[in-house]
Amino acid sequence: MNNSGLKNIYPIREQDDHYNFQYHLFPITMDRDCYLINQKLLNDLFNHDQKLDLFIQDLEKEMQKEASNYRFEAASYYRDLIHGLQYVKAGINGYRDLFSKNLLLKIPTKDGVKLFYVTRGNIILDKKYQILRDQSLRLFIEKGNQLQAKQTEVHLLEKSAIDYRDIIYS
């Protein structure tokens, strides 16, 4: 799904656990208030699995309706949009899952190995070893666990932090 995949169904409105939208061959212009409402709605969709699932169900119903009315272009648009949203959902969930865990990364170097202890997507401990022994590994993990327990949640919005997290996720 490209970044303009939703533009043909704006504006989207939420009503009683359902979403109202209509396919437009050409995107329509929204005023600022409508834009802000849709921005908030999309943020809610991508931050709450249940809401995204409801939205996808509504898209599937609309796809079936369009296909039964022989409007195959609109039906294929909905199909592609559904596949794109399911792909994005899987990525978001994988990203959330990965960053809810503590990670131990072991990177080979030309003169040994380097360990990284990562929590909430942030490196909190790293160390180089020429020879990694079991005892050294246990001590490294123990120290990482101690540091992790002292960590307070930090919200990093810098581009470098986001890029770093994307690299770790991939």
pLDDT digits (tens, 9 = 90+) for 58-70: 999 999 999 999 9
Report whether the peptide linkage leading into residue 11 is cis, meaning its omega lies within 30 degrees of zero: yes
Whether 112 shows a pLDDT value over 90: the answer reads yes
| Residue 91 sits in the same domain as residue 108 | no
Name the domain count of the chain: 2
pLDDT in tens, 134-150: 999 999 999 999 988 88
Please check whether residue 16 lies inside any domain of the structure: yes
| Residue 164 sits in the same domain as residue 127 | yes
Please check whether residue 139 lies inside any domain of the structure: yes
Q: Which two tokens stand for residue 79?
A: 């199909």
Whether 2 shows a pLDDT value over 50: the answer reads no
Between CA 71 and CA 96, with CA 5 as vertex, the angle to 5 degrees is 130
Helices 72-98 and 49-68, packing angle to 10 deg: 160
Determine contact, residues 117/125, Cβ cutoff 8 Å. Answer: yes
Whether the CA torsion 121, 126, 132, 136 is positive or negative: it is negative
What is the reported pLDDT for 149? 84
Phi, psi of 111 (to 5 degrees): -120, 30
What is the reported pLDDT for 160? 53
Please check whether residue 2 lies inside any domain of the structure: no
Please check whether residue 149 lies inside any domain of the structure: yes
Lowest-confidence region among 5-9, 55-59, 118-122, 162-166: 162-166
Domain extent for 49: 7-97
What is the reported pLDDT for 161? 56
Q: Which two tokens stand for residue 150?
A: 């002292």
CA nearest neighbour of 66 among 75, 57, 58: 75
